[in-house]
Structure 1
């Protein structure tokens, strides 16, 4: 009976795509994305861009929650830092730094600032965990939004009314079209997934996993909890900062309300639904979480016929749907959609010997 994949060398053991089904899936998705960018309509491109931006953020959240075992409800703050950081840097550099060069400066600086704030937010993880750490990170989210909304910083952040964002100019290539932005977002999303996949094949990534499984045992083995917990928060915040930078380039303007608690809960919901601590978990989770509002919108449009009294129920129903998905997967499939696909792929890989 076949019960696994034969690995006859270290190269086989290190290979990420270790069977034909994984290879077919990855290469097939690359072809699908290329065709999607060429032939999809504007509405589908818009939804796909939203998926790509959220995917980068959820992959970052997965580093902290899924791989390191540290609960966080404040990652929307890091997205806000990345979005506002890029916009402010563009405004400060206007007339001094060429537009074609500015994104190559603004994005890395905004990501670095997000990572530094992530280290500060991660400091409570050295003393508390679980619900207490979740509350601490949630407080950080409120603090960042509070600072953005203050009149003192309104000349830079726009305050409550928001701020207009620049169009990215990559060495003379102005991305003023959603389809062009989709290509950029898709490249960054793919690179983010690949980076995290390989991160957890290194000493740092294995230290994160050891802390998740049992932090006291990891410390006895010589793993510095101070160093690696803060590193985990820094890496996670950096990815969310990158998502925020792309969000700023994607939308014509940004508002503080875009980065409030609802966004943090969406990120956590996507991670739970897709599967924590797995590479493909954020991908499946983001697809579900982004498509739920779109499905509700289509259904309500067909049922209400444009009646505003019925259409106003759409927002609370959307929140209820997110809550239902979280409860359902926590009760019946806590490992997420990725675990279901794993069972299917294992059965296909062992066919015709697989049973049940």
Structure 2
């Protein structure tokens, strides 16, 4: 019978993969990821691509809201800034991806700084309203500034070219997106374990106590806005490459609500929860659509009744259910399952 695993040093405690079994399962997971395009439907690969982009954006929002406690209802605006930056750089200036994606992140981070500095004294609903107002402003700019964004005509984005290799299909984009998502997850995991991450958590739990202990609230709140916006900007740039076309209607207030749903359902203050929530919220509309199509076979009167209102209602219901019955989200469920297996056969 094996004994429980005890950590004897700080180095062992901060390792990403702390046991040989975790390394083993991670290797199996990587092999499964590599095999996905060969064994699944192309449309499913496309859904995974969108899930990867959603994961990166959800990580940014979770850093801002879940770890720092600064609620944002304008996250879609930062994705829009990143997407339009990539579109303009790639289509108009013919820049490569290794210029477009960092530029998208930096542009969104600068916008995050512009939002974060005036909002330093705001909390709760007031901060939510301020960020939502910023989202409305960005949406208005993308529609009316036609010289830059082409307005309602939208912007076509060329195929992503990685060092001479054109990623002209969802299967080819898949590996690139999975790699970028993995880097984003690892970076976020390491961030929350650093001094900066601990300062974010201290501000979230009790900002006055954090300030008394020496945490610079101004610096870290603005930094949280910048980092969260950077993630969103990169996600927006990737979205532009995947869709090959962007339009103001792609970045509405509903998208901000969807990302808020991702981190609530996945788990606030959890990197893994961002992944769970992004995948869950991306897959649920497809499940609802398939269910609606099945229902029309049984009840022909329901034909052509499916629309986006079903998704909105589903998101609202899921948020309420998770807030009431599982405040820690899917990551809390996963943590209990993992603890159960880790402690077995012990009861403590």
With the length of structure 2 as denominator, give the TM-score of the two structures: 0.95
Corresponding residue for residue 67 of structure 2: 67
- Closer, same or farther in 2 for the Cα pair 1:199/1:115, shift >3 Å? same
Distance (Å, rounded) in 2 between the aligned partners of 1:200 and 1:177: 35
Is 1:58–1:267's contact at 8 Å kept on the other side of the alignment? yes
Corresponding residue for residue 272 of structure 1: 264
Q: 1:322 and 2:315 equivalent?
A: yes
- Among 114, 118, 122, the alignment partner of 2:112 is 118
- Closer, same or farther in 2 for the Cα pair 1:177/1:313, shift >3 Å? closer
Write the mapping of 1:89-104 to structure 2, written as runs, cut at 5 A.
89-94=89-94, 102-104=96-98
- Closer, same or farther in 2 for the Cα pair 1:104/1:341, shift >3 Å? same
- Closer, same or farther in 2 for the Cα pair 1:147/1:307, shift >3 Å? farther
- SS at structure 1 position matched to 2:271: coil
CA-to-aligned-CA distance 1:100-143 (integer Å, 9 cap, x gap): xx222122112111100011111243111111101100111110
Distance (Å, rounded) in 2 between the aligned partners of 1:158 and 1:140: 20
**Which sits farther off after the overlay, 216-225 or 68-77?**
216-225
Corresponding residue for residue 206 of structure 1: 198
Is 2:76–2:251's contact at 8 Å kept on the other side of the alignment? yes
Distance (Å, rounded) in 1 between the aligned partners of 2:4 and 2:336: 13
Corresponding residue for residue 28 of structure 1: 28
With the length of structure 1 as denominator, give the TM-score of the two structures: 0.93
Corresponding residue for residue 137 of structure 1: 131
Corresponding residue for residue 340 of structure 1: 333
Distance (Å, rounded) in 1 between the aligned partners of 2:32 and 2:135: 36
Q: 1:109 and 2:114 equivalent?
A: no
CA-to-aligned-CA distance 1:142-193 (integer Å, 9 cap, x gap): 101100100xx21321201211112111221111111111111111111100
Corresponding residue for residue 291 of structure 1: 283
Corresponding residue for residue 324 of structure 2: 331
- SS at structure 2 position matched to 1:126: coil
CA-to-aligned-CA distance 1:212-243 (integer Å, 9 cap, x gap): 11111111111111111010110000000000
Q: 1:197 and 2:189 equivalent?
A: yes
Aligned residues: 346
CA-to-aligned-CA distance 1:52-98 (integer Å, 9 cap, x gap): 1101000111100111011011110010001000111123323xx6x
Is 1:296–1:314's contact at 8 Å kept on the other side of the alignment? no
Distance (Å, rounded) in 1 between the aligned partners of 2:253 and 2:24: 38
- Closer, same or farther in 2 for the Cα pair 1:92/1:164, shift >3 Å? closer
Unaligned runs of 5+ in 2: none
Corresponding residue for residue 45 of structure 2: 45
- SS at structure 1 position matched to 2:223: helix
Q: CA deviation at 1:20?
A: 4.9
Q: CA deviation at 1:26?
A: 2.9
RMSD: 1.9
Unaligned runs of 5+ in 1: none
Is 1:273–1:329's contact at 8 Å kept on the other side of the alignment? yes
Q: CA deviation at 1:24?
A: 4.1
**Which sits farther off after the overlay, 345-354 or 140-149?**
345-354
